[in-house]
Structure 1
Amino acid sequence: MKFFTKKRVVLFLLFIFPLICFLLLSLGENNFTKLPVVKENLIDVSEIDATKTVQLKENVTILCFLGNDINKTKTGLLNLNEKIYKKFIDYKKFQIVAIYPEGKEEEVKNLKEEIGAFTDMQKWNFIASSKDKIEGFYITFGLNEPLVNLYSSKAFLIDKDVNLRGRLTDKDTKDGKLYGYNMNSVAVLNGKLIDDVKVLYYEYYAAFKEKNNNKADRKEVGL
């Protein structure tokens, strides 16, 4: 086994191993799997927002439904704030949108104060709407799980084109389809939603990079 001399092992670790890692990363960058679109062309939340100040279009959005019992939602919202919002607050066009029924303004105000005690709330958006509009908006998601008292334990990931993103081969669901992320599970937020938001942003980065490369190529040939 003279081949595996100390000198050769050192050379391998210093030069060859990093090169192999670089090649693997390059292949991964060019052939990464995009995050599946599980429902296209949702209605923009601006359609149910009387103030017309919030929209999904051109934003990466985590959206949730608070329901009639705001206290029931508190744990999930605090999880979202700690595990997702604080991690992505500096990402461009990132926002969290929380929809709640009209008449719950005081409870939501208290909730916002609690979340905002140690958080910059600039990318949190709370929208009040009527029961009929909230239910009609949720129906466009095409899910088999109905809202219960206008509440869902799931947070939904929506892309810049107002498509619902998720997973089609999720190991923890019966049919492999993941349409929303359980806000009450720190493991789900840490292990799935964080990764999926990163994949979505990498999609946009890769598309931007390719677009700029194509522009440079056209400029070189005088187009």
Structure 2
Amino acid sequence: MKKTFVLIVLFVLPIIAYLFFASGVNNFGRLPTLTEGVIEIDFPDNQVKFSNNITVLGFLGKEVERKKGNAFNLNQKIYKRFSEFRDFQFVMIMPKGTEDKVEALKTELSALADVSKWKFVFLGPGMIHELFSSLETDLKLDDNLGTPYVFIIDKERNLRGRTEDEDEGTKFGFNTNSVADLNNKMEDDVKIILAEYRLALKKNNANRAK
């Protein structure tokens, strides 16, 4: 018995501890809501909506060619991993007049993945600022109406993020300039929110079966 106990202490407990810390504290709870009621996109024919979708929201700005690296990072690290999940979409807010540049970007992205869940919405400056302001973050759009940060919006149009991030405190968005931020934080948080909705769906189906 003593030998068994010693073996457990020496080998099993360190493995359990490692798995706990490697998974991250954030994995063991809901992803915090930071802002409620992000405004809905006023888009013709309701082609793109936040409601009832899990959305990665971005603002690429006027200089699309300078944001290609950001889009490719996001595509490779997040989109390709989660694009097959139902009700999951990428919505990029674009200034009007960038339509041709966006088509070129989509062509390049399509060589790497099915881009059907990349949605590009073209808006005027006023609407772009209004939408961004409704996120209520500590970030700002640049002079080209863009930002390297992307945001997670849930099906109820709430901004999700972190309230106790080890580097930023409150973390509103994820920096697409940083592969580490996408790999180490955003991927984890997208997993959490998808798990939330899968669990809720299972509970609803179980309740209906009773």
Q: Distance in 2 between matches of 1:92 and 1:210?
A: 17
1:10-43, Cα deviation, whole Å (9 max, x unpaired): xx8xxxx7xxx8xx99xxxxx9310000000111
Matched, 1:144 2:138: yes
1:63: which partner in 2? 57
Any idea what SS the aligned residue of 2:171 has? coil
Superposed displacement of residue 51, structure 1: 5.0
Matched, 1:160 2:171: no
Any idea what SS the aligned residue of 1:152 has? strand
Matched, 1:74 2:92: no
Residue 198 (structure 1) aligned to one of 191, 198, 208: 191
Superposed displacement of residue 215, structure 1: 4.3
Superposed displacement of residue 3, structure 1: 4.1
Matched, 1:108 2:102: yes
- Mapping for residues 208-219 of structure 1, pairs under 5 Å: 208-216=201-209, 219=210
Paired-residue identity, %: 40
Matched, 1:177 2:173: no
Checking the alignment, whether the CA contact within 8 Å between 1:101 and 1:129 is kept in structure 2 is: yes
Give the TM-score, by structure 1 length.
0.80
Any idea what SS the aligned residue of 1:196 has? helix
Name the one with the larger strand percent: 2
Matched, 1:207 2:200: yes
- Residue ranges of structure 1 left out of the alignment (5+ in a row): 26-30
1:172-198, Cα deviation, whole Å (9 max, x unpaired): 11xx10000001111010111111011
1:78-108, Cα deviation, whole Å (9 max, x unpaired): 0010000100011111110111101111111
- Residue ranges of structure 2 left out of the alignment (5+ in a row): 21-26
Superposed displacement of residue 211, structure 1: 3.0
Give the TM-score, by structure 2 length.
0.85
Q: Distance in 2 between matches of 1:50 and 1:179?
A: 28
Superposed displacement of residue 144, structure 1: 2.8
Q: Distance in 2 between matches of 1:32 and 1:119?
A: 31
- Point out the structure with max Rg over C-alpha: 1
Say how many residue pairs are matched: 197
Any idea what SS the aligned residue of 2:34 has? strand
| Paired AA for residue 78 in structure 2 | I
Give the root-mean-square deviation of aligned CA atoms: 2.6
